[in-house]
Amino acid sequence: MCPSKLDTYQSKRDPERTPEPMGSRRKKPSPRAPLSFVIQEHHARALHWDFRLERDGVLVSWAVPRGVPLNPRRNHLAVAVEDHPLEYGGFAGRIPSGEYGAGTVSIWDSGTYETEKWSDREVMVVLHGDRVTGRYVLFKTDEKNWMIHRMDPSPDDWDPLPDLVRPMLCRAGELPKTARGWTCEFKWDGVRAVAYVDGGRVRIRSRNDLDVTAAYPELRQLGRALGSRPVILDGEIVAFDDLNRPSFGLLQQRMHVRDSAAARRLARKIPVSYLVFDVLHLDGRSTLDLPYSERRSLLESLQLASDHWATPATYRQRPQAVLDVALSSGLEGVVCKRTNSRYLPGRRSDDWVKVRGFRTQEVVVGGYTPGKGSRSGGVGALIVGIPDEHGLGYAGKVGTGFSDADVKELAARFAKLRRKTSPFTGELPKAQVAGATWVRPILVGEVRFSDWTTQDRLRQPSWRGLRPDKSAADVVIES
């Protein structure tokens, strides 16, 4: 007996346990009827898209992990799978847990196609769908794997996701006098992060362009939540304490980790949340030139909400009232944004103003003085500065706010950064730098302080922690 093209498909499925069609009813295809195609979004163990072409009474099928490409410069992997029945082209629903392909299936696009070439190693077609149109070719690379390539140019209204968009920065300033033309957000005590989501995969970059995806494995599922939608998001990664307050100290334990296994262990102990406040690219279109109010509406339409990501509220109320609520809730302040402001990548703008309840400043560490008492033989106080047009200007010493873990980590880092001469410009106060060990000025930290002295030195600075998400070139006077 001649084997059926659907034998493999049917052997993997039990009609009593799954709602998928079994292909029991066969109809002879009409030579005049147009051939159909379907692309199904399949949230199985790994998110992927199933690309299916009608041929000889079945749907010849490939699993495409990153979806059908719209960019002719990027080919996508396509893994050949068993032929499916024609009825599967209309299937959408949930495959029960424990069954082959368990998960949710939805129809992402469908339509008709024309064949230009079909061989054992190459399939060339012209698609006519709602979301995908144009010429495509699938070519075989080994026994099971193929690649799918778009032969036509990208659609006119579609732009590929850029590899890098630097985050727009705030200026420290005073509260707007009125709510008119402004919206306010709470300022979260975390680290800035831009998330690139494409084909269900997530890539996260820090403010200084480092890829920190491995450090936050719990955020990878954001790709599954967004499915096929290509998007760039801007937000803050935050760790919360037992009282649900942002804790920069807890987040410090996550920021430096690059080992995947260690990051997974820490994610269970100190989970983070990605608080998203802007969208920079969506569905093949840049949103940078849209006013903030429109970008915010687009962001809210994504309905991002889970245990590990959210879109915090914005407030059109009197800015002072919003700041009062933030400070009474234990938050560090607010960010006020002009509702008509464009997104300016990598630039500081008066359109975004941050106002804190206490003063903080990023600093560059240029050396340290030896410790005394319990810190004898180790790091006592840090000698810090702020870059200016002449080099690294001296801003004072920081001797408080360190935990034992901070001192240990700093000592380990300094051991690799020592240098013989001071990295600071100008003459330093001898009494304050007596016995100093100098280091290469590449480490950035953050301090809390009460005010500036008349000599442009930090008054009563207290250490808050290292900022590996920032480089020395990023440091400017905040207040």
Residue type, 474: D
Question: Is pLDDT above 70 for 24?
Answer: no
Per DSSP bridges, beta strands 272-282 and 285-286 are: antiparallel
pLDDT at 354 (0 to 100): 92
Segment 148-153 mean pLDDT: 96
Shared domain for 333 and 386, answered yes or no, is no
Shared domain for 44 and 103, answered yes or no, is yes
Question: Is pLDDT above 60 for 233?
Answer: yes
Residues in the chain: 479
Contact 436, 367 (CB under 8 A): yes
Shared domain for 372 and 322, answered yes or no, is no
29: confidence class by pLDDT, cuts 50, 70, 90:
low
Question: Is pLDDT above 90 for 200?
Answer: no
Residue type, 55: R
Segment 77-101 mean pLDDT: 95
Q: Which two tokens stand for residue 264?
A: 């997974």
Domain membership of residue 287 (yes or no) is yes
Count Cβ neighbours within 10 Å for each residue of 326-354 and write b for 16 or more, e otherwise: beeeebbbbbbbbbebebeeeeebebbbb
403: confidence class by pLDDT, cuts 50, 70, 90:
confident
Domain membership of residue 374 (yes or no) is yes
Dist. CA 206–CA 192, nearest whole Å: 6
Shared domain for 25 and 144, answered yes or no, is yes
Shared domain for 327 and 200, answered yes or no, is yes
pLDDT at 3 (0 to 100): 58
Q: Which two tokens stand for residue 88?
A: 């599967």
The residue among 151, 108, 110 whose CA lies nearest residue 129 is: 110
Domain membership of residue 162 (yes or no) is no
Q: Is the pTM above the cut of 0.75? A: yes
Domain boundary among 118, 150, 182: 150
Domain membership of residue 164 (yes or no) is no
Shared domain for 250 and 134, answered yes or no, is no
25: confidence class by pLDDT, cuts 50, 70, 90:
low
Domain membership of residue 163 (yes or no) is no
Shared domain for 315 and 199, answered yes or no, is yes
Q: How many domains does the structure of the chain reveal?
A: 3
pLDDT at 469 (0 to 100): 86
Per DSSP bridges, beta strands 191-198 and 437-439 are: unpaired
Shared domain for 386 and 352, answered yes or no, is no
Q: Is 264 left (phi over 0), alpha (psi -120 to 50) or beta?
A: alpha
205 three-class SS: strand
Domain membership of residue 45 (yes or no) is yes
Shared domain for 134 and 229, answered yes or no, is no
Measured over the CA atoms of residue 395, residue 396, residue 400 and residue 402, the dihedral's sign is positive
pLDDT at 356 (0 to 100): 84
- Predicted confidence (pLDDT) per residue in 296-329, tens digit: 999 999 999 999 999 999 999 899 999 999 888 8
Dist. CA 410–CA 203, nearest whole Å: 29
Shared domain for 85 and 204, answered yes or no, is no
Strand partners, 60: 53
- Predicted confidence (pLDDT) per residue in 211-224, tens digit: 999 999 999 999 98
Terminal Cα-to-Cα distance of the chain (whole angstroms): 83
Pairwise pLDDT comparison (374 vs 266), residue with the higher score: 266
Q: Which residue has the tokens 């960019």?
A: 71
State yes or no: is 470 an active-site residue: no
377: confidence class by pLDDT, cuts 50, 70, 90:
confident
Domain membership of residue 364 (yes or no) is yes
Residue 198 CA, distance from chain mean position: 11
State the residue range of the domain holding 63: 7-150
pLDDT at 5 (0 to 100): 86
- Predicted confidence (pLDDT) per residue in 170-195, tens digit: 998 889 988 999 999 999 989 999 99
pLDDT at 220 (0 to 100): 92
101: confidence class by pLDDT, cuts 50, 70, 90:
very high
- Of residues 28, 140, 144, 187, which has the active-site annotation? 187
Domain membership of residue 88 (yes or no) is yes
Domain boundary among 98, 118, 150: 150
Domain boundary among 150, 185, 209: 150
Pairwise pLDDT comparison (23 vs 418), residue with the higher score: 418
Within 10 angstroms of residue 447's Cβ, the number of other Cβ atoms is: 23
- Indicate which CATH number applies to the domain containing 174: 3.30.470.30
pLDDT at 2 (0 to 100): 44
470: confidence class by pLDDT, cuts 50, 70, 90:
confident
pLDDT at 136 (0 to 100): 98
Shared domain for 245 and 346, answered yes or no, is yes
Segment 72-81 mean pLDDT: 94
% of the chain surpassing 90 pLDDT: 73
pLDDT at 1 (0 to 100): 35
Q: Which two tokens stand for residue 409?
A: 């980590």
Shared domain for 392 and 468, answered yes or no, is yes
